Chain A
Amino acid sequence: MKKLLAQIKASMGIYESEPVYGLLAEFADPGALLHAASQVREAGYRHFDVHSPFPVHGMDKAMGLGNSLVGFFTLGGGITGFALAYWLQWWTGAVAYPLNISGKPFFAIEPSIPIMFELTVLFAAFGAVAGMFALNGLPRPHSPLFYSRNFTRATDDAFFLHIAASDKCFDLEETRQLLADLGGYHVELLAAQE
């Protein structure tokens, strides 16, 4: 159970490893980051992530990320909204409070469709946003990456790659060497503070 939870968290980018959290390296430009990501991936690492001030084209492919699963959350939300709107209108109109309005049926599918459509869209949007948050492991107020002073530049002018210690291939020396070989500098060890 604990292992499963850790796996799910890892899929969201939350890597649990104590006391050593991982290694963080800075790269000179988006091209170097892209190259490093694909090489790290090829070296067999899975628990790693990149951080850049702007989206880097082709990064999904380089990191080996598949298609986002968010669409399934959207579909689920849409179907929920559709069913809910149908039930809502049927129950209020025909069961709980039937009103005769100019001889129209208490419940008919025709005038119900706009509401069904609207709630489909609304719940699909809820599903998409909730799914996006869940798949990214958000909200996440703190990350061990924040222990690095240098890391604040991830939103400004620096490109980072971080490999988590929870990765099967993680080895302090080898991984540090790999990052350095790929052109990473300022390689930092992230560890829980005393």
Chain B
Amino acid sequence: MATLKKSHITQCLLDPFASTGADAPDAFRYKGDWRIWGIPLLVGALGLTSGLSGWLADPRQFYFSYLIGWVFCLTIALGALFFVLIQHLTRARWSIVVRRMAEALLWTFPLLAVLGIPVLFGLHDLYHWTHTEAVAADPILAGKTPYLNVPFFLIRLAVYFLVWSLLAYHLYRNSLAQDCTGDADIPARQRKVSALGLAAGAVTTAFASFDLLMSLDPHWFSTIFGVYVFAGAFMSIHALLALCAMMLQGVGNLKGVVTTEHYQDLGKLTFAFVVFWTYIAFSQYMLIWYGNIPEETLWYRHRLSHGWEVHSAVLLLGHFVVPFFLLLSRAVKRSRLFLGVICVWLLAMQWFDIHWLAAPVLHPDAATIHFLDVANWLGLFGIVLGVSMYRLVRHSLVPCRSPGLDDSLHFENT
């Protein structure tokens, strides 16, 4: 019986386990070449180089752009985490053929922790609450110092990444071990990890969104903010999984394994979380509108003036109205071309959403999308996607000994 071997410690950011792809059944073995991970990595390297060079010209702009791109990648990884957790907890069978892709994305957390180092250098440029004199002169911010201070901030970030990485490690290892041994206890073990993981993931995601994004404007607060970030993240992962499957099938893999039925389901869930995002976004907006208290409304004021109102309108149309009406149709969800275009668009909208959350803090007087925003986004996303694809193709492309696999392969929408 084969066992799961660890890879060399120097490779642990790429993949903590030795390749098991050679033992996979032929139908699930990767048959393409290096380009599936090489091209994203090249785009990533190119983007990141030009992005990092922006630091020389305008460090403050660079830090914001980098943070936006980095948080985008973080929401993708968190989306993958929640996706896997929920599939295990609900014992979902339809999704087994696409679960490995999410599992490959999971192990992005340690890499993201490393890629997050530039953010730490930019704390002073990013977060107003790190300016001690300004905080001392501001009674509201002074009252928040027990929470908003640099040492505690760093400890919290470390805890989040530790929790996420541990969860990712267990979920990923168990799934690969199942490929090797077919151990019948693994589904139960995965559910146990997932039950704890869902609770831990929810709390850490909410607080991470408070720390990384909400505290950019330290006077403002919204308790629903964590759910808002989760909604965007969870929508994005379904879109990205559909795209990953299309990429793999585009180079001749998983023929007849991932079918129109699975694409339709991913489309349905994307649609559902487009609506959920809107529901949460509107809940936040309406309560603040109705309360009409300056300390809350100011945040929206910034996003509804000086050109940012155009961004807000694009967000409403592009993140809700257009994808809502397009994804309503069954035919669209079952067409790879249409679904693919919508998924790319929604991933761009997810980035645009995070940009909309963060960038007005830097440019309250003139709405822009800076070149560095795009360069850092594509750079970081390229790296994350490339490394995840590299990790994915080293193993069986689906959890080949998962008990429900047969149901997943023959899954049909009724």
Residues of A that sit less than 8 Å from B by CB: 60, 67, 71, 75, 110-111, 113-114
Contacts and interface: CB of A to CB of B under 8 A. Distances in A.
14 contacts: A60-B414, A67-B330, A71-B330, A75-B328, A110-B285, A110-B286, A110-B289, A110-B290, A111-B286, A111-B289, A111-B290, A113-B282, A113-B286, A114-B286
Interface centre among A60, A67, A75, A110 (most CB of B within 10 A): A110
Contacts of B290: 110-111
Contacts of B285: 110
Contacts of A71: 330
Please list the 6 inter-chain residue pairs (A to B) with the smallest Cβ-Cβ separation, ordered nearest first: A110-B289, A110-B286, A111-B290, A113-B282, A67-B330, A111-B286
Contacts of B289: 110-111
Contacts of B286: 110-111, 113-114
A180 B328 CA distance: 44
Interface in B281-313: 282, 285-286, 289-290
B399 to A, nearest CB: 25
Nearest to B329: A71
A66 to B, nearest CB: 11
Contacts of B328: 75
A114 B289 CA distance: 13
A60 B412 CA distance: 13
A75 B414 CA distance: 19
B71 to A, nearest CB: 28
Interface residues of B, number: 8
A23 B349 CA distance: 58
B413 to A, nearest CB: 10
A56 B116 CA distance: 54
Nearest to A74: B328
B315 to A, nearest CB: 16
Contacts of B330: 67, 71
A110 B290 CA distance: 8
A75 B324 CA distance: 13
A75 B285 CA distance: 26
A113 B286 CA distance: 9
Nearest to A102: B292
A113 B283 CA distance: 10
Nearest to A108: B289
B407 to A, nearest CB: 13
A113 B289 CA distance: 12
A114 B283 CA distance: 9
Nearest to A67: B330
A163 B330 CA distance: 31
Contacts of A75: 328
Contacts of A114: 286
Interface string B128-143: 0000000000000000
A67 B414 CA distance: 10
A71 B290 CA distance: 35
Interface string B263-290: 0000000000000000000100110011
Contacts of A60: 414
Given A60-B414, A110-B289, A111-B286, 10 more contacts: A67-B330, A71-B330, A75-B328, A110-B285, A110-B286, A111-B289, A111-B290, A113-B282, A113-B286, A114-B286
A75 B289 CA distance: 30
A60 B286 CA distance: 44
Contacts of B282: 113
A114 B282 CA distance: 9
B276 to A, nearest CB: 13
Contacts of A113: 282, 286
Nearest to B330: A67
A14 B3 CA distance: 63
B405 to A, nearest CB: 19
Interface centre among B285, B289, B330 (most CB of A within 10 A): B289
Contacts of A110: 285-286, 289-290
B297 to A, nearest CB: 12
Contacts of A111: 286, 289-290
A110 B282 CA distance: 9
Nearest to A55: B414
A60 B328 CA distance: 22
